[in-house]
Structure 1
Amino acid sequence: MPLTLRWIPKTILLLCLLLLTSSCTWFRPNQAPTPTAPLGRPRQPRHLLLGNPSKATADAITNGNNYLINRPQYSLSYNNAKRIPNWVSWELNQSWIGDTPRKNTFRPDAELPDNWYKVTPADYTRTGYDRGHMVPSADRDNNPDNQTSTFLMTNIVPQTPDNNRGPWVDLEEYCRDLVAQGKELYITAGTYGRKGTIGRTSQKVTVPASIWKVIVVMNGPRRYPSDVGPRTRVIAVDMPNEPGIKDDDWQKYRVTVDQIEQKTGYDLLRRVKPEVQARIESRVDN
């Protein structure tokens, strides 16, 4: 048999082995596994690890007041009638924290549907209300792109200065203190109620009566819903959007998750086991 015919089968076999080793995870022991969703269930964005509280969807026609926006930096439900977010959810760990200088790049959100009014920074001018962040800029200052995403007006609500610059910012700083200790947080912040409107056109922005936040404190990074147990720390606060509270301690406004769910109609930890939810949602953080 000619020499070329004897080595062809061996060559093909070697090529097949090389293809297998380059495509199979069995030969890559140092590669971290990629989390996958159960069959039949789409993978949730990382910021919605513990659930989509209002079952928001990206359907602008039938669900305009519960319109889902997923970004690399956070996920939110936008209310086109109120022109503020219903809620915003985000993961917070040390990888998101940096030293990017703050730039107040408040701007309309171009990702909203074309026929929707896009709130501008000027809608808040001389109204007596701050442009209050749901996701704080300091929670996303690891690089300029992430930080500037927090200044989109879909992440902003009309907030009294005494709330925004008092107990609310104190709680934001406390969250970052927890992260500095090695904790990973899953945070959802939102609003409910109505105490008027602001705006420079007929397209008004609703001023919420209350602003709330729920913080699930995990003991390390890259966690899963199954890691939330009956002893997991959960901080829930419900603050009035009123003047006169600037010197209040944020701890004064601690409530249960159940209380916030009753006022909003949301299911805030829907991907946590029901028996665990019953325990952690009914107690006040102390």
Structure 2
Amino acid sequence: MAKRKSARKPRKKGRKASSVLSSVKRMFIGAFIVVACFIGFLFIYDYFAPVEGHKPVVSEEKKPGVVASEKAVAGPDQKAQDKTPAKKVPAQSSTKTFKVPANTEIPRLKEKRREQVIKHEGYTVSYNSDYCIANWVAYELTATEAKSKKTERSNKFVPDPQVKGATAMNEDYTRTGYDRGHLAPAGDMKWSAKAMRESFYLSNICPQKPKLNRGIWKELEEQCRLWALDNGSLLIVTGPVITSDMKRLGKNRVAIPKSFYKVLCYHTEKGYKGIGFLFENRDYEGSSLKSMVIPIDSVEKVTGIDFFPSIPDDQEKEMEATIDWSSWSF
């Protein structure tokens, strides 16, 4: 009898141990399921819940997707161009904010010329790979953007990643005596960090004489911000005058424009108001901006570009043929 009892004891211990292991196993599985469900809940909540602080800074009238530029080193004169003079905007104005119709800011080439149209956050560029510079750069500058100080100047010039074909490089400008001159200025892009970075893409840059880039050209950029503040919104098209006899610089043979243009347009209750400028690639010390004003028609004849093709023809012709001096304060 004693032997039988001693034989049964190990069985009870084995059953008890097995029962404990099963309980531990069930507890472990249960805990795992709870943790997995909790993690799944957090993932689903994070995916569907609205995230604050990530609203796009682009205005409703702007459509992101264009080209820009980056800068490496800027002299004190170049950095000073982003300091926009302070000017108060009237609390009430008869001027309406310019509501940009679809593609209004996209000019049209009248002559056969190579172009790749690229949209960036703050501007659109028509890039010409034959010359490694733009045919034109166009953008809308609103009053809100003109007074924004949201982001600092980038100062890092880089090739445009969207450009197909030949492109300029920083080395092309090294020790040439030319500035990397912005077409869409960095000072107009402070409303967005992305727009600022893209304004330094080399597709938005042209070789400019330092005294032009840091002189009357910078003065016109500052004046444009004031006009945007006054009128609510301003359409700007700017670029080099493309000619077949331009000299080249650097390994990538970047064309050196002989002259540059800028045309501006805004809308009021009385219709569209436009103005144009044309500068040779040289110093204009002592010249006033007002003395450089010409009709947009004159700029179109020199450049072979229809700057505002989406504006109704009758209004476009009137705006481009004359200058309404009362609409532009200097």
> How does the TM-score come out when normalised to structure 2?
0.63
Matched, 1:266 2:305: yes
Runs of 4 or more, structure 1, over 3 Å off, are: 45-48
| CA displacement 1:111-159 (0-9 Å, x = unmatched) | 112xx23311221111111101010001011132111110000000111
Q: How big is the shift at 1:251? A: 2.0
CA shift in 2, pair 1:168/1:204, >3 Å: same
SS of residue in 2 equivalent to 1:68: strand
Greater relative CO (CA pairs within 8 A, separation 6+): 2
State the superposition RMSD in angstroms.
2.4
Taking a change above 3 Å as real, the CA distance of residues 50 and 147 of structure 1, as seen in their structure-2 partners, is closer
Q: Distance in 2 between matches of 1:235 and 1:183?
A: 16
1:135 paired to 2:175: no
Change (3 A) 1:51 1:148: closer
Q: SS at the partner of 2:321? A: coil
Write out aligned runs for 1:126-205 (5 A).
Answer: 126-192=175-241, 193=243, 194-199=245-250, 201=251, 203-205=252-254
Alpha-carbon distance in structure 1 between the residues aligned to 2:142 and 2:201: 22
**Structure 1 Cα separation of the partners of residues 156 and 239 of structure 2:** 22
Q: How many Å separate the matches in 2 of 1:55 and 1:72?
A: 26
AA paired with 1:255?
I
Among candidates 54, 57, 65, match of residue 109 of structure 2: 54
**What CA distance in whole angstroms lies between the structure 2 residues aligned with 1:210 and 1:284?**
22
Contact 1:189–1:214 (CA under 8 A) maintained in structure 2: yes
Residue 286 of structure 2 aligns with an amino acid whose one-letter code is: D
Distance 1:166 1:81 in 2: 29
SS in 1 for 2:305: coil
Check the 8 A contact 2:103/2:310 in 1, yes or no: no
Deviation at 1:164, TM superposition (A): 0.9
Residue among 254, 274, 279 paired with 1:234: 274
With over 3 angstroms needed to count, the CA separation of the structure-2 counterparts of 1:141 and 1:284, relative to structure 1, is: same
Aligned partners of 1:86 and 1:191 also within 8 Å: yes
Q: How far off is 1:46 after superposition?
A: 7.0
Structure 1, unpaired ranges of 5+: 1-33, 36-44, 57-62, 220-226
Q: What are the ranges of 5 or more consecutive residues in structure 2 without an aligned counterpart?
A: 1-59, 62-99, 326-330
CA radius of gyration, larger in? 2
Indicate how the Cα distance of structure 1 residues 137 and 50 shifts in structure 2: closer, same or farther if over 3 A, else same: closer
- The residue type equivalent to 1:141 in the other structure is K
